[in-house]
């Protein structure tokens, strides 16, 4: 929402002080903050060339001290400008300001949270484990074929060392 301050009765009876130019983005609202520094006053806001930008055409307002008046600008309004007249004293005093309609600012890209995916570890057997597992396999075969008791012990110890080596191995 863009705000525009309008000062009434701050310099003299029915005096009007407005900015020269106000910029508002298409699809937003123009908020007129009217501040009366004197006695209550009837105020007229009008625009004859705003039909391409807003449905606002004319408003009669009674301002005691402060008043906010909102003018919506069409979402599909093309860049351009229109004027708003501010009239007090039943037409005795007249001032205007230009409203420049700009293209809406692009929406910021939504922030994407970075999701950390744990890396998949390559499972590789350490080289020392392979000979131990081969020895265990051969010793087991010898024990099965000959019933030699120490071959079973060698197979068990080799197998145990091969498994321990593989578990302790860190890539």
Q: Let me know if residue 42 belongs to a domain.
A: yes
Q: What is the pLDDT of residue 121?
A: 63
pLDDT digits (tens, 9 = 90+) for 137-162: 888 888 888 888 888 888 888 888 88
- In this model, does residue 15 exceed pLDDT 80? yes
Q: What is the pLDDT of residue 65?
A: 92
Q: What is the pLDDT of residue 156?
A: 85
* End residue of a domain, out of 102, 137, 160: 102
Coil, helix or strand for 131?
A: helix
Q: For residue 102, give Cα distances in angstroms to 60, 96, 105, 108, 111.
A: 27, 19, 9, 17, 26
- Residues near 132 by beta carbon (within 8 Å), at least 6 away in sequence: 158, 159, 161, 162, 165
- In this model, does residue 96 exceed pLDDT 70? yes
Total domains present in the chain: 2
Q: Let me know if residue 107 belongs to a domain.
A: no
Domain that holds residue 62: 2-102
**For position 9, which CATH number holds?**
2.60.40.420
DSSP 3-state percent helix, strand, coil across the chain (nearest 5): 25, 35, 40
Q: What is the pLDDT of residue 168?
A: 76
Q: Let me know if residue 157 belongs to a domain.
A: yes
Q: Let me know if residue 57 belongs to a domain.
A: yes
Alpha carbon distance 92, 58 (integer Å):
17
- Same-domain check for residues 97 and 133: no
Burial class (CB in 10 A: 0-12, 13-18, 19+), 61: middle
Coil, helix or strand for 139?
A: helix
- Same-domain check for residues 80 and 45: yes
Indicate the pTM of the whole model. Answer: 0.60
* Average predicted confidence (pLDDT) for the chain: 87
Q: What is the pLDDT of residue 161?
A: 83
Strand partners, 10: none
- Same-domain check for residues 51 and 133: no
pLDDT digits (tens, 9 = 90+) for 40-66: 999 999 999 999 999 999 999 999 999
pLDDT digits (tens, 9 = 90+) for 1-10: 788 999 999 9
CB burial of 152-169 (b: ≥16 within 10 Å; e: otherwise) equals eebbeebbebbeebbeee
CA atoms within 13 A on the CB side of 65: 0
pLDDT digits (tens, 9 = 90+) for 118-127: 776 665 656 7
């Amino acid at each position: 929402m863009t705000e525009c301050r309008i000062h009434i009765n701050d310099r003299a009876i029915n005096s009007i002080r407005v900015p020269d130019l106000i910029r508002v983005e298409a699809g937003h609202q123009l908020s007129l903050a009217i501040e009366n520094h004197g006695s209550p006053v009837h105020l007229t806001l009008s625009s004859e060339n705003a039909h391409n930008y807003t449905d606002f055409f004319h408003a009669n307002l009674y301002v005691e001290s402060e008043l906010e008046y909102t003018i919506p600008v069409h979402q599909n309004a093309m860049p351009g400008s229109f004027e708003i007249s501010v009239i007090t004293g039943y037409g005795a005093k007249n001032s205007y300001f230009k409203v420049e309609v700009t293209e809406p600012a692009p929406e910021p890209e939504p922030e994407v949270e970075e999701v950390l995916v744990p890396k998949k570890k390559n499972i590789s057997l350490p080289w020392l484990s392979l000979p131990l597992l081969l020895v265990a396999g051969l010793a087991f075969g010898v024990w099965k074929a000959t019933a030699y008791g120490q071959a079973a012990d060698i197979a068990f110890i080799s197998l145990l060392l091969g498994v321990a080596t593989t578990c302790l191995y860190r890539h």
